[in-house]
Amino acid sequence: MTRGPVSARLPDFPWDKLTAYAATARAHPDGLVDLSVGTPVDPTPAVVRDALAAAGDAPGYPTTVGLPETRQAAVDWLARRHGVTGLDVDGVLPAIGTKELIAALPLHLGLGEGDLIGYPELAYPTYEVGAALCGARARATDSLTAFGPEVPALLWLNSPSNPTGRVLPPDHLRKVVDWCRDRGTLLVSDECYLEMAWEETPSSVLHPDICGGSHEGLLAVHSLSKRSNLAGYRCGFVAGDPAVVAELLAVRKNLGLMMPAPQQRAMAAALADDDHVRAQHATYAARRALLQEALLQAGFTIDHSEGSLYLWATRGEDCWETVGRLAEAGILVAPGSFYGRAGAQHVRVAFTATDERVGAAVGRLAELG
C-alpha cells in the first residue's frame, strides 16, 4: 500500500505564515525588531569557545554514546544546579540539538500507528511533529482526565513552558509522575528553559522530591542553546531511565547520530561553568523587565511568563490582528495560534534581542499605548 510522502503527514511549517508580516516590520524606518524567534544574540561564552578550539583536531569518528567526560558533566550539572540524585552516565545521551531529539524520539522508541502521544494544550509544535512522523495519534491537553480510559504511550511535559512561560508546581509534577507510572506511560519532560526562571523556581522530574528517588519511566530533555548561547553548536542531551536511554542509544547508533567531538568538549565546558549562566540570566532579566512594562503600558495583559525567554501577551483580540498591529510598528512577534487553538488571542514576545533593539521596541510600544 502506498502511504505517500512523509511531508504530507506533517503540519505546515508555521513560520512560513509570518513572511508577509516580517516584510512589513522590516520596512519600518528604524528597521526590524525581531521578537518572534527566541534565538540567542549575545556572544558564546569564552570558556566554551576555548574548549571548542582546543578540541578542533578531531580526525576520527565520535561515538553516539558520547564522551564519558561529557556525560559526567551533565550528571554533575543536574546534581549541582537542580538537585538530581541517583543519575549516572548510563542515564545520559548527548543529542545533536534537542529539536531533532524531540521530533525523532517517538519513532526511535518504536511508537507508531495505534499509539497515543499526549502533549500540552499550548505547546512547542515539534511534539505534534514527532507524533505525525511515526504515524501515532496525538492529543493536546493539560487534563489527565481528558484521556479517559485510553492510555498514552508517551506524555510530554514542558516546564517552564514554550510559549507561555508557565512553571508547573512540584505537586502537579508528582501527580503526573504517579499517573504515568500507574499506567506504564513514558513521561518525557522538556526542561530546556529550566535555568531561565523569573518568578517561580521550576523543578526537574528527575528531582528525588518529584520522582521518589527513581528515574524509572522518566526522561528529561535539556538544551544548552538558551542558557549558554549555543544554538549554533546544536548541543543538548536526554537523561533519565537508563533502560530507555539504552534503547535510544541502540537505535541512534544504527542511524549514525553522533554529536561531533569538539561540540562534546564545548558542552562539557559549558555545563561545568555557572558564571556565564548567571551573567546571561541577569541580561535577560533586564530585557524582560523593560519589555514587560512596555507591553503593560501599551494595554497588553501578561499571562503566566514565570519562566522561559518569552512574554505571553494579549490585548483580547485575534492574535493575527495583534501581529499585524505590531508589524506596522516594526516589531515582529509570534502569533499564539502557532502553539495551539488556546493561543488564538495571545502573542509570544521573545526578549532575546539586543539591548539596542529591545530599547527600540520599548519606544515603539510607548507610541502604541
* pLDDT tens sequence for the chain (369 residues): 446 667 666 667 777 889 999 999 999 999 999 999 999 999 999 999 999 999 999 999 999 999 999 999 999 999 999 999 999 999 999 999 999 999 999 999 999 999 999 999 999 999 999 999 999 999 999 999 999 999 999 999 999 999 999 999 999 999 999 999 999 999 999 999 999 999 999 999 999 999 999 999 999 999 999 999 999 999 999 999 999 999 999 999 999 999 999 999 999 999 999 999 999 999 999 999 999 999 999 999 999 999 999 999 999 999 999 999 999 999 999 999 999 999 999 999 999 999 999 999 999 999 986
Residues 84 and 151 in one domain: yes
Residues 269 and 293 in one domain: no
Residues 199 and 106 in one domain: yes
| CA 133 – CA 83 distance, rounded (Å) | 34
130-159 CB burial, b ≥16 within 10 A, e <16: bbbbbbbebbbeeebeebeeeebbbbbbbb
Per-residue pLDDT at 2? 46
Expressed as residue numbers, the domain containing 269 is: 58-273
Per-residue pLDDT at 15? 72
Per-residue pLDDT at 169? 98
- Count: domains in the chain: 2
Domain endpoint, select from 273, 304, 329 = 273
| CA 109 – CA 288 distance, rounded (Å) | 38
Closest CA to 32 of 324, 322, 330: 330
Residues 216 and 280 in one domain: no
Residues 117 and 241 in one domain: yes
97 φ/ψ angles, rounded to the nearest 5 degrees: 85, 140
Domain endpoint, select from 223, 238, 273 = 273
Among left, alpha and beta (phi > 0; psi -120 to 50; other), residue 114 is left
Residues 92/249, Cβ–Cβ less than 8 Å: no
Residues 247 and 336 in one domain: no
Residues 235/225, Cβ–Cβ less than 8 Å: yes
Q: Indicate whether 52 belongs to any domain.
A: no
Per-residue pLDDT at 29? 95
Residues 297 and 183 in one domain: no
Question: Which CATH number is 313's domain given?
Answer: 3.90.1150.10
Domain endpoint, select from 273, 299, 328 = 273
Residues 153 and 302 in one domain: no
Residues 170 and 34 in one domain: no
Burial class (CB in 10 A: 0-12, 13-18, 19+), 69: middle
| CA 266 – CA 263 distance, rounded (Å) | 5
Residues 264 and 346 in one domain: no
Question: Which CATH number is 172's domain given?
Answer: 3.40.640.10
Tell me the pTM. 0.95
Closest CA to 64 of 299, 289, 253, 264: 253
